[in-house]
Structure 1
Amino acid sequence: MAAESEKPEFSVAPAAPEDWPWMLRRYERTAWESLTPDLRRRLSPRDVRRQVSAQVEAFRSAAGDSFAAHVARNRQGKRAGFIWVQENRHGFTGEARAYVLEVYVSPTQRGRGLGKRLMDWAEEWARARGLRRIALNVAAHNAPAKALYESLGYAVETLRMAKELAGGD
């Protein structure tokens, strides 16, 4: 048996049923954090929780083998992060691609290479399926995540902008 110091810092394996409540709570939190201040004023955490539950149920039930959820654990076996990825088609080209739905790294585990490890896993998953492209969305104000993705070779394809219209009550 390998000594504790010889084990990889993180292991990544398919999510088990008992991992889902943990992942959902963290997804709810990151979904809330990704909202702009204006959206946070207009929505409640309960609204976000409802929407997150509906989204997750939809892609878990409809995706079949085109959806994968993996959990990262630290050397002590504690959950440290997760990634959800699915195969979908580009809206204009119809090209099949991998799409990262969510990536989460526990705050205590950030800065230790786990985000890169999870993204590397997603790219391996995509290649194994014969996919040649991978995409994701990131909140405009999430500078650490944007820096990670850029360091891995990701580039901005589209930039969604919004404006609140006066008198729209």
Structure 2
Amino acid sequence: MTHVIRPLQPSDSLEDLTRLLHAAYASLAAQGWNFTAVDQPVEVTRQRLADAQAFVAEQHGRLVGTVAVRGPKPVGEAYIGDPSPALYTTPGTAILSQLGVHPDWRGQHLAERLIDAAETWARAQGFAQIALDTAEPAAALRARYARRGYADVGTLQWAGKTYRSVLMCKPLGDPAGDALTRS
């Protein structure tokens, strides 16, 4: 099946995108991890996309995957209600978030293609590194990012979360080097 990876357009439905995130994160919720995307309202989706470049995977007009990437947050700006970790305010740092693929479309490398799009965008914007956070006990997610060259750089506890998060970061060097990281 051919999926189109493209930037989110103003004409795309944030309601559909939010439903996609809920479906994509349901398996994480079933493990007891209350990621924000598990049940965020449309307004939170809108807020999380402010100042971000979102990409979507589309199949026959249906959104089946998504990721967002943005530059560093201003010092003192909250991140989903909590103070931003220093990594997220470091100049030259892009932030990857809201990666999700609908369960019906998993196993087709869409997540990898979405991360590729986000990393390519960040590199083209001149960012030196890209950072993210995920649940510390989410071994499969952490392994996926580690295979791509992301390294653990710290931990934090977001308010109201049932898990501790690990911060991960990857230098954005030569694009050819990224393929070597994933092999």
TM superposition score normalised by structure 1: 0.68
Find 1:12's aligned residue among 5, 13, 25: 5
What amino acid is aligned across from residue 44 of structure 2 in structure 1?
Answer: Q
Which structure would you say has the larger Rg?
1
User: Which sections of structure 2, spanning at least 5 residues, go unmatched?
Assistant: 74-84, 159-183
In structure 2, do the counterparts of structure 1 residues 113 and 135 end up closer, same or farther at CA, with 3 Å as the change threshold?
same
CA distance in structure 2 between the partners assigned to 1:97 and 1:34 by the alignment: 29
Q: Tell me the CA shift for residue 72 of structure 1.
A: 0.5
The Cα shift of 1:115 comes to: 0.9
Cα displacement string for residues 120-141 of structure 1 (whole angstroms, at most 9, x for unaligned residues)? 1111000110001001111234
Partner of 1:157, secondary structure, is: strand
Structure 1 residues 27 and 38 mapped into 2: Cα distance closer, same or farther (>3 Å)?
closer
Does residue 1:78 correspond to 2:62, yes or no? yes
The total of aligned residue pairs comes to 143
Q: With structure 2 as the length reference, what TM-score do the two structures score?
A: 0.63
Please tell me whether residue 56 in structure 1 is matched to residue 45 in structure 2.
yes
Identical-pair percentage: 25
Alignment-derived partner of residue 69 in structure 1: 54
Distance 2:136 2:148 in 1: 17
Given the superposition, is the C-alpha separation of residues 34 and 86 from structure 1 closer, same or farther in structure 2, using an over 3 Å criterion?
A: farther
| Structure 1, gaps ≥5 residues long | 1-7, 163-169
CA distance in 2, matches of 1:82, 1:159: 25
Shift in Å at residue 158 of structure 1?
A: 1.0
In structure 2, how many angstroms separate the alpha carbons of the residues matched to 1:38 and 1:145? 13
Measured in 2, the distance between the counterparts of 1:126 and 1:26 equals: 24
Does the C-alpha gap of structure 1 residues 55 and 104 become closer, same or farther in structure 2, counting only changes over 3 Å? same
Between the aligned partners of 1:35 and 1:87, the Cα distance in structure 2 is 31
Which letter does structure 2 place at the counterpart of 1:11?
A: V
Shift of 1:97: 1.2
Runs of 4+ in 1 over 6 A off after TM superposition: none
Cα 1:105/1:32, change in 2 over 3 Å: closer
2:86 to 91, 94, 99: 91
Q: Are the structure 2 counterparts of residues 158 and 96 from structure 1 closer, same or farther at C-alpha, using a change threshold of 3 Å?
A: same
C-alpha separation in 2, matches of 1:130 and 1:35 = 38
Which has more strand, going by share of residues?
2
